[in-house]
Amino acid sequence: MIIYSSSAREFREKVDSNLLTVSIEEAFVKKMGMQPSRGEIRAWNNSMQFMERVIRNSQIADDCGILIEYNIPATSKRVDFIVTGQDEDGNNNFIIVELKQWDSAKATDREDVVLACVGGKEREMTHPSYQAWSYRQHLEDMNEAVYSNQLHSYSCAFLHNYRTPQPDPLQSEQYQPIIQKAPLFLSEDTLKLQEFIHKHTGQGNGINLLYLIENGKIRPSKKLIEHIDGLFKGNSEFTLLDEQKIAYESILSEANDITKKKTIIVKGGPGTGKSVISMNALGGLLRKKLNAKFVAPNASFRSAMVETLVKQQPKSKSRTKVLFAGSGQFYDSTPDFFDVLIVDEAHRLKGKGAYMYQGLNQIEDIIKASKINVFFIDDYQRIRPDDIGTVEEIKRIAHMNGSVVLEYALSAQFRCSGAEGFLNWIDHIFQIRETGNFDGWDQEAFQFVLLDNPNSVYSHIKQKADEGYKARMLAGYAWNWTDAKEGNPNGEVEDVIIAEHQFKMPWNGRALPTWAIDERGVEQIGCVHTSQGLEFDYVGVIIGNDLKYDPEAKRIYADYEEYKDKLGKRGLKNDNQQLTKLIKNIYKVLISRGMKGCFLYCRNPELRDYLRAHLNRIFMLDAVSQLERE
């Protein structure tokens, strides 16, 4: 969507008559359905004066095209400024100009990330050249008009208030690769920017290009498809096995006909391969040239998926990220805009009032926004009161929106070394549901050790990590999490404290979104929000005092005061049954993250004794069975 567009001549005239900002504001209200913020209006007033002088002095033809505030389809991102036109060779070109009002910045040790003062606070921001280049890459990859009509794209950043210091942190050696892709123009570089714009668009004939860009269909380019194919071929983690392959092929088969609205529900417990199938389905749908996106409610899970996918080609991360989205951005999407939306961890979808969510129901948003929607779900992994993702709710909303419902179930266990019996035992022993595995599981298939000291849990996990296994410490939300503003931006504060054992560890760092796969992650404790959907070889799990056992009533129950997740217990102070159900689900999720083994410590003595008694019973039964065999 283009908020404002005109010829270069009209753009200059609007500025001369002091009507440009008024025109942009009116167009914004009409197309976006809301008023722009004061900050946006100030930015237009400031930046457009500079851009008008650049356009006028570049002496480009009157019929070059100007786009202001181009909303990139299927995203919440807007490009500040685009110039369209032809060069001397008759090529149809467009230039993305990312405008910044910064007057200073600092370098960081993170790739393409800088520190800048925005909104009165110093914040981590992407380098302006990276931002300009990433928008250009997105259009090249997903706008059919760009790659089918041989439109040549260029990008640059213009910081008109930034006087170059010596040395300049924005032009540090580490940022030179991205500056080569998208030139950086500072306040004294206005003449260079004028020459850059004239070189690529100065011959005019750009009005028609505005129409092409705005009306281009959103579907993957051949280059993007080849890129994604290459990433999957380099990752053994995404190899499909047995019924995973069947579910995958079923999804692709249903996607052959997108004229009928369909809702596909894929049900499966931990370790059945939901994420493997969903990621492969994304690749398969892109190969069909469908406008598809991978949706995951959990930001940490999305980051880990992207990092795992691009680990062989880390430079391709930004190009890959555009195919991934959070679940809260579809509330105002155009109906049926997407061919297919794939939703992993659908049990974590939210309803009205969820943090930062502006809509009413994320399930309905997704179904309305797509012709085909695929939900991967496990009803036993809901962990918060505002998690509305259930099979019944998805079916209800699908029927309400005229979408045909198709259901598939996954039963084969690919996590916990195939020890489906172990997960059934966890269900039974934690009183989640009754199963036939009350007497144990195949212990040769999965190692489960109950320990009396959290330090011993950490020692086992550290040893496994040193041996080359993927191993992480996990805990329930039974300890407060010190805020970043209080000196804890990246796991500096040891919040998880068990004084009786002199045990202290920090929660996973906020500035380490890839905690699950970063080697530094073993020194921090992950929670359910950073580990759900992921898997490790071994996990060390600490059950805090939020889950306890009553020996007289013989029941496991939640302690409202000991559970520190404010959103996780909102409205449940007088509903211990529901709170207990959610906290049990959390610990099942944590315990089931391990594929080879789990080392467990329970802080509540009664719960620890309860679990040990059941383990001793299993050991005794095994011993009797062994004697009988002998």
Pairwise CA distance, residues 69 & 82, whole Å: 8
pLDDT at 550: 96
pLDDT at 623: 44
pLDDT at 624: 38
Pairwise CA distance, residues 382 & 20, whole Å: 50
pLDDT at 481: 92
- Residue 627: pLDDT band (50, 70, 90) is very low
Domain 222-409 classification at class level:
alpha beta
pLDDT digits (tens, 9 = 90+) for 532-552: 888 889 999 999 999 999 999
Is the confidence at residue 565, as pLDDT, over 50? yes
605 preceded by cis ω (within 30°)?
no
Residue pair 104/162 in contact (Cβ under 8 Å)? The answer is yes
Over range 269-283, report the average pLDDT: 87
Q: Of residues 518 and 611, which shows the higher confidence score?
A: 611
Residue pair 272/344 in contact (Cβ under 8 Å)? The answer is no
pLDDT digits (tens, 9 = 90+) for 222-255: 888 888 888 787 676 777 777 788 889 999 999 9
pLDDT at 490: 79
Over range 261-280, report the average pLDDT: 89
pLDDT at 257: 93
Residue pair 543/603 in contact (Cβ under 8 Å)? The answer is yes
Pairwise CA distance, residues 329 & 295, whole Å: 10
Is the confidence at residue 185, as pLDDT, over 50? yes
pLDDT digits (tens, 9 = 90+) for 380-390: 888 899 899 99
CATH 3.40.50.300 in the chain, residue ranges: 222-409
Is the confidence at residue 629, as pLDDT, over 60? no
Weakest-pLDDT range from 187-196, 212-221, 335-344, 605-614: 212-221
Residue pair 476/543 in contact (Cβ under 8 Å)? The answer is yes
Over range 158-185, report the average pLDDT: 94
pLDDT digits (tens, 9 = 90+) for 365-414: 999 999 999 999 998 888 899 899 999 999 999 999 999 999 998 875 55
Over range 479-487, report the average pLDDT: 89
Q: Of residues 491 and 349, which shows the higher confidence score?
A: 349
Is the confidence at residue 511, as pLDDT, over 70? no
Q: Of residues 332 and 622, which shows the higher confidence score?
A: 332
Task: Collapse the DSSP code of 542 into the 3-class scheme (helix H, G, I; strand E, B; otherwise coil) and give the result.
Answer: strand
Instruction: Name the range with the highest mean pLDDT among 27-31, 412-416, 599-603.
Output: 599-603
Is the confidence at residue 145, as pLDDT, over 80? yes
pLDDT at 368: 97
Over range 474-480, report the average pLDDT: 96
Over range 104-126, report the average pLDDT: 85
Weakest-pLDDT range from 38-47, 273-282, 295-304, 311-320: 311-320
Over range 428-454, report the average pLDDT: 80
pLDDT > 70 fraction of the chain, expressed in percent and rounded: 94
pLDDT at 123: 84
Is the confidence at residue 437, as pLDDT, over 70? no
Is the confidence at residue 625, as pLDDT, over 50? no
pLDDT at 619: 65
Q: Of residues 384 and 273, which shows the higher confidence score?
A: 384
pLDDT > 90 fraction of the chain, expressed in percent and rounded: 55
Residue pair 560/568 in contact (Cβ under 8 Å)? The answer is no
Is the confidence at residue 626, as pLDDT, over 50? no
- Exposed, middle or buried, 16 (CB in 10 Å: 0-12/13-18/19+)? exposed
- Cα-Cα-Cα-Cα dihedral sign, residues 614, 469, 348, 561: positive
pLDDT digits (tens, 9 = 90+) for 128-143: 999 999 899 888 888 8
Residue pair 423/433 in contact (Cβ under 8 Å)? The answer is no
Weakest-pLDDT range from 29-43, 281-295, 406-420, 553-567: 406-420
Residue pair 342/293 in contact (Cβ under 8 Å)? The answer is yes
Q: Of residues 259 and 489, which shows the higher confidence score?
A: 259
pLDDT at 616: 86
Is the confidence at residue 417, as pLDDT, over 70? no
Please report how the helices 190-201 and 38-58 are oriented relative to each other, as an axis angle in degrees rounded to 10.
Answer: 70
DSSP-assigned states of every residue in 433-468: S--S-TT---TTT-EEEEES-HHHHHHHHHHHHHTT
Over range 162-167, report the average pLDDT: 91
pLDDT at 630: 45
pLDDT at 580: 96
- Residue 438: pLDDT band (50, 70, 90) is low
Is the confidence at residue 418, as pLDDT, over 60? no
Pairwise CA distance, residues 24 & 26, whole Å: 6
Taking all residues of the chain, what is their mean pLDDT, rounded to a whole number? 88
